[in-house]
Structure 1
Amino acid sequence: MPTESQPLRHLGFLTIGSFDEADPGAGHETTLQIIELGEQLGFDSAWVRHRHLQFGISSPVAVLAAASQRTRHIQLGTAVTPLGWENPLRLAEDLATVDVLSGGRLNPGISVGAPRAHDDVTAALYPDSAEHEDFSYQRLARLLAHVRGEAVTGWSGTEGFEEFSDRVQPHSPGLASRLWYGGGRLGSARWAGEHGMNLLTSSVVKAEESEDFAEIQRSLIRTFRAHHPDGERARVSQGLVVIPTDSATPRQRAKYTAYVERRTPRTTAPQGPARLLFARDLLGTSEQLAEQLHAHAGFREVDEVAFALPFTFDHDDYAQILTDIATELGPRLGWKPAH
């Protein structure tokens, strides 16, 4: 647990990778430039969101494959890939391929459940098999088995001039230890712990036992570690929207303030039938932000973070925020760049 005497070990950031429908290439290029900047600033990891049928990254594995060829050190992750849209075996092949290309830097974040807007997309996504698809944790168990190198078929050998394997190829031995579950409820935290995954806890949780966000997040982390083979050493990364203003211009400060004010009302109480609770965005100088984070019950449980960049900002805004996090906020949390 990082306090003022125990340093934050791992500093990351998360971007949605927005783009203009009329010019998607420019948005994807900007995302790659942001990841490159993150490496230059010494961040330990860069994460991209997964957005289907929206103007954000729909294929993060492809984007991270490109990023892997433009960076050398920074860890590359997805936060998160909704498995309901994926075939576990095919996804395992893609993940292993990018992990090999990146030199073992891929950190896939996964979640389970039916695809968002299931009734609207199922005819296009699973036109012939919708009634047979299993969107439970069993779907994730299949992915874990494939990534870990377990057999997927009872046959291997040579047929003609071609050689076949009984497990997913390529196999990247270290990838399984870098699989993360994006969970916001106690059952998910428990399952991820029992199955030896890492845990991504973000700015959205389910209000099951409390309506205090920080308390809920702390409970998720403790539940996860209580069921994980590594116990207190099990890896957890916290993700909050954190916006430092140290080097921001007056225009940027006004823009950031308006953004936070628009989003704050949804943080006051659980939202909808699912009782989702959103964390308040943190805005201020790095000194103020460090004080708030050290007082946050969820933050005090972790030594890894992946601070989320706001969705709708410009490239210059992201560059300012990342620079302030790396040069001002990170050091106040005890972090030092590894590279």
Structure 2
Amino acid sequence: MTETPTPRQPAPLRKLGFLTIGLFDEADPRTGHEATLQLIELGEQLGFDSTWVRHRHLQYGISSPVAVLAAASQRTRHIELGTAVIPLGWENPLRLAEDLATVDILSGVRLNPGVSVGPPMHYDRVRRSLYPDTADAEDFSYTRVRRLLDLVRGEPAGEVEGFEGFEQFSGRVQPHSPGLAARMWYGAGSLSSARWAGEQGMNLLTSSVVKAEESTDFAEIQLSHIRAFRAHHPDGARARVSQGLVVIPTDTASPTQRARYEEYAEQRTPRTASPQGPARMMFAPDLVGPSELLAERLHEHAAFREVDEVAFALPFTFAPADYAQILTDMATRLGPALGWHPSH
């Protein structure tokens, strides 16, 4: 029996990011989207290195993260803009490659696209609208990611090139952003997907949901994913990994806010006790408390000890004032407790 390697000592946190779902009211979607943009602006003011948006289709969350990040790119200057993640089953890789490159150029090369594969959620109920003529022929495997990667890297997109009359055509996606391919991330929830992402030379997003395969200990599972990814990546131990957990510092929270945060975490705790559903998904416990305590718990987390960048997830249903308090405490209390300092 092979002995499990001991997790290394935690290094100072190098990059601090946050993730938001960007909820809105169906009767007033502009206000919700504007609140998301204001949150991103606050993140930049506080010195966060990155902000990430979730992707939600046919729900009251951000359905077009690339469009939202295009807007954010014009209201910020430094903070990196990421997607965690775009499910490629909903996308045409060529069109997405064009959108990603365009926003990357507009942002001053700050885009960090995170993607995943698999059939779209509720595919049987949306296939007629999404792919009315090709539903049975669509390929939702890793091939879809490779198509996107090739197009982002500048591989040929077609056989139309040169001049036709007064119009000039390119054989590859335009605009082409040379550094974008190095900032492509894969959201992996299983050991095989983490290994595959490493083989493709992508970066790894590992979140608060993983598949219970060889263990039912969340941190142990996540650690195995990180190590498998780096073992198969050309950059080895230097390959980029960003960890995403729900982390809620309460240093400056009011008693009412603190009680609400604790109730939120308590309601979600039962699902963390054992694998959930046929896919045996394991959920990480939400971390709530003062920054000093959170730093201790993170330093004890086997997977956290393997990374030097994070994208802590904001809870889904809180108010803008709650998010402002949480982000402020992250940047001014928790980040420094983890050895982080703003880079801008």
Which amino acid counterpart does residue 333 of structure 1 have in structure 2? L
Matches within 5 A, 1:41-52: 41-52=46-57
Aligned partner of 1:268 among 248, 264, 273: 273
Which amino acid counterpart does residue 209 of structure 2 have in structure 1? V
Matching residue of 1:206:
211
Matching residue of 1:295:
300
Displacement of 1:21 in angstroms is 0.5
Displacement of 1:163 in angstroms is 0.1
Superposition TM-score, scaled by structure 2 size: 0.97
Whether 1:304 and 2:309 are equivalent positions in the alignment is yes
Matching residue of 1:153:
158
Matching residue of 2:288:
283
Whether 1:53 and 2:81 are equivalent positions in the alignment is no
Distance 1:337 1:74 in 2: 11
Which amino acid counterpart does residue 166 of structure 2 have in structure 1? F
Which amino acid counterpart does residue 125 of structure 1 have in structure 2? L
Aligned partner of 2:28 among 23, 28, 32: 23
Matching residue of 1:235:
240
Q: Secondary structure at the match of 2:127?
A: helix
Residues 143-186 of structure 1 show CA distances to partners (whole Å, capped at 9, x for unaligned) of 00000000111331000110000000000000000000000101
Which amino acid counterpart does residue 66 of structure 1 have in structure 2? A
Matching residue of 1:96:
101
Distance 1:155 1:21 in 2: 42
Matching residue of 1:183:
188
Aligned partner of 1:118 among 123, 129, 133: 123
Aligned partner of 1:192 among 176, 197, 203: 197
Given that 1:189 and 1:220 are in contact with CA atoms closer than 8 Å, whether structure 2 keeps it comes out as yes
Which amino acid counterpart does residue 48 of structure 1 have in structure 2? V
Residues 232-283 of structure 1 show CA distances to partners (whole Å, capped at 9, x for unaligned) of 0000000000000000000000100110011000000000000000000000
Given that 1:240 and 1:281 are in contact with CA atoms closer than 8 Å, whether structure 2 keeps it comes out as yes
Matching residue of 2:323:
318
Q: Which runs of 4+ in 1 moved over 6 A?
A: none
User: What value does the CA root-mean-square deviation take over the aligned residues?
Assistant: 0.9
Distance 2:53 2:9 in 1: 28
Matching residue of 1:79:
84
Given that 1:199 and 1:236 are in contact with CA atoms closer than 8 Å, whether structure 2 keeps it comes out as yes
Q: Secondary structure at the match of 1:132?
A: coil
Distance 2:116 2:97 in 1: 14
Residues 169-205 of structure 1 show CA distances to partners (whole Å, capped at 9, x for unaligned) of 0000000000000001011001100000000000000
Matching residue of 1:63:
68
Q: Secondary structure at the match of 2:136?
A: helix
Matching residue of 2:222:
217
Residues 285-326 of structure 1 show CA distances to partners (whole Å, capped at 9, x for unaligned) of 000000000000010010000000000000000000000000
Superposition TM-score, scaled by structure 1 size: 0.99
Distance 2:199 2:278 in 1: 28
Given that 1:243 and 1:282 are in contact with CA atoms closer than 8 Å, whether structure 2 keeps it comes out as yes
Given that 1:92 and 1:143 are in contact with CA atoms closer than 8 Å, whether structure 2 keeps it comes out as yes
Which amino acid counterpart does residue 32 of structure 2 have in structure 1? G
Which amino acid counterpart does residue 142 of structure 2 have in structure 1? Y
Matching residue of 1:7:
12
Distance 1:129 1:335 in 2: 48
Distance 2:176 2:8 in 1: 35
Distance 1:221 1:254 in 2: 34
Given that 1:2 and 1:8 are in contact with CA atoms closer than 8 Å, whether structure 2 keeps it comes out as no
Distance 2:324 2:201 in 1: 35
Question: Cα–Cα, structure 1 residues 85 and 121, in superposed 2: closer, same or farther, change >3 Å?
Answer: same
Which amino acid counterpart does residue 240 of structure 1 have in structure 2? L
Whether 1:38 and 2:43 are equivalent positions in the alignment is yes
Distance 1:293 1:155 in 2: 53
Distance 1:39 1:46 in 2: 9
- The unaligned stretches of length 5 or more in structure 2 are 1-6
Displacement of 1:132 in angstroms is 1.1
Distance 2:140 2:62 in 1: 22
Distance 1:81 1:283 in 2: 28
Given that 1:96 and 1:171 are in contact with CA atoms closer than 8 Å, whether structure 2 keeps it comes out as yes
Distance 2:160 2:72 in 1: 36
Distance 2:191 2:140 in 1: 18
Distance 2:59 2:295 in 1: 34
Distance 1:53 1:277 in 2: 25
Q: Secondary structure at the match of 1:248?
A: coil
